[in-house]
Homo-oligomer: A and B are copies of this chain.
Amino acid sequence: MTTPHLLLDRAKVERNADRLRTHVASLGSTLRPHVKTSKSVDVTRLLFDGGTGPITVSTLREAEAFAANGFTDVLYAVGIDPHKLDRVLALRRAGVDLVVLLDSVAQARAVAEAGVPALVEVDCDGHRGGVTPGAPEVLEIAAVLGEHLRGVLTHAGESYFCYTEPELVAAAEHERTTAVGVAEDLRAAGFPAPVVSVGSTPTAHFARDLTGVTEVRAGNFVFFDLVMAGIGVCTVDDLALSVVTTVIGHRPDKGWILTDAGWMATSRDRGTAAQPTDQGYGLVMTEDGTLIPDLLMTGASQEHGVLSLRDGSTAPFPDLPVGTRLRVLPNHACATAAQHDHYDLVDSSTAWPRVNGW
């Protein structure tokens, strides 16, 4: 097989999925996985014991591809562009219960006119979009949506910047109370708002109470990555995805090993740069999955990676001749996977396609 390519450890996906499903079920809620990380029908089936179930999508192309494979309970969790309602309606006419997201009266008017059910996005931590809890817009939007209002959604984007268990537990509880509070405001005003949707990979794992929450969204957990390990949501051993690469050169004068996986294969994501331990473009393992002490991918051009020892390391410089195969663990699995159109599976000749594009 040529390099670079994505390598997926199916057993780790199943282990990661079991862990979160069990946790969410133990708190009396339901998981609605976000397929934006894998963009793979095959990976997502692993989360439903080979079947289908409720999913969250980040693009309408994902919605269309998953619908074609039997996933008919779909939340499109990016604020709706009114131009996209034609495609939403086509899916709904085909029997897909596709729900959209919005946070303005302007969007609500377009969505109500089209007759599409929607969740109202609520901001819980100033990270992205969403109406402010308690602001008059909440009831104005609900009034415009009328029977098309399904409920509320929030996302604790700030949880990606929490580094202790108490902070993560607090972020999860704040996410829950924000969403439940707005749902209660709506119900008090006469709007049913049956759905209360929360989630992010960190808060989903650290929630201690999901009272009032009808569904939990998380995406990254299927693969995990070095950012999640840095936050403490997983260990490095939980990472299910790596980029396989080949050594193509050496610069002993600089302490560099050159590989054929540049940013085209790993993405430019450097999420761990903002964390206490910067992992460069990723940790490096042997082909069989053993970490090489202190070896990082520290540089990237389009089709070249640079590997070198972590600053201050006393580890021996590894002997990795031209032609040696290695694996690089990603900073951000969503971004790294996005550079590829399929997954190769560990110990298998199977390839699973991704649904890229919009």
Contacts and interface: CB of A to CB of B under 8 A. Distances in A.
Contacts of A248: 78-81, 107, 129
A198 interface: no
A23 interface: no
Nearest to A106: B322
Interface in A293-329: 301-304, 306, 321-323
Contacts of A357: 340-341
Copy count, this protein chain:
2
A132 B334 CA distance: 39
Nearest to A34: B302
Contact of A106 (B268, B321, B334): B321
Nearest to A132: B253
B254 A126 contact: yes
A3 B61 CA distance: 11
Contacts of A268: 267-270, 335
A254 B130 CA distance: 12
Interface in A237-253: 246, 248-251, 253
B358 A250 contact: no
A95 B268 CA distance: 36
Nearest to A265: B358
A150 interface: no
Given A87-B2, A126-B254, A103 B338 contact: no
A336 to B, nearest CB: 10
A317 to B, nearest CB: 17
A334 B302 contact: yes
A323 B128 contact: no
Size bracket, chain A contacts: 35 or more
A58 B341 CA distance: 18
A65 interface: no
A78 B81 CA distance: 42
A157 B262 CA distance: 15
Contacts of A106: 321-323
A177 B59 CA distance: 51
Contacts of A59: 303
B104 A249 contact: yes
Contacts of A93: none
A84 B2 CA distance: 7
Contacts of A249: 79, 103-104, 107, 129
A151 B352 CA distance: 42
29 contacts: A2-B60, A2-B87, A2-B358, A36-B302, A36-B303, A58-B264, A58-B302, A58-B303, A79-B260, A81-B260, A81-B323, A82-B323, A106-B323, A107-B248, A107-B322, A110-B323, A128-B301, A128-B304, A129-B248, A129-B249, A132-B253, A263-B269, A264-B338, A265-B358, A267-B267, A268-B268, A268-B270, A338-B339, A341-B356
Interface of A: 2-5, 36, 58-60, 78-84, 87, 103-104, 106-107, 110, 126, 128-129, 132, 157, 246, 248-251, 253-254, 258, 260, 263-265, 267-270, 301-304, 306, 321-323, 334-335, 338-341, 356-358
Given A2-B358, A4-B358, A103-B249, 7 more contacts: A58-B302, A78-B303, A106-B322, A107-B249, A128-B304, A268-B270, A302-B335
Pick the 10 closest A-B CB pairs, nearest first: A268-B268, A79-B248, A81-B246, A129-B249, A106-B322, A58-B303, A78-B303, A79-B249, A268-B269, A82-B323
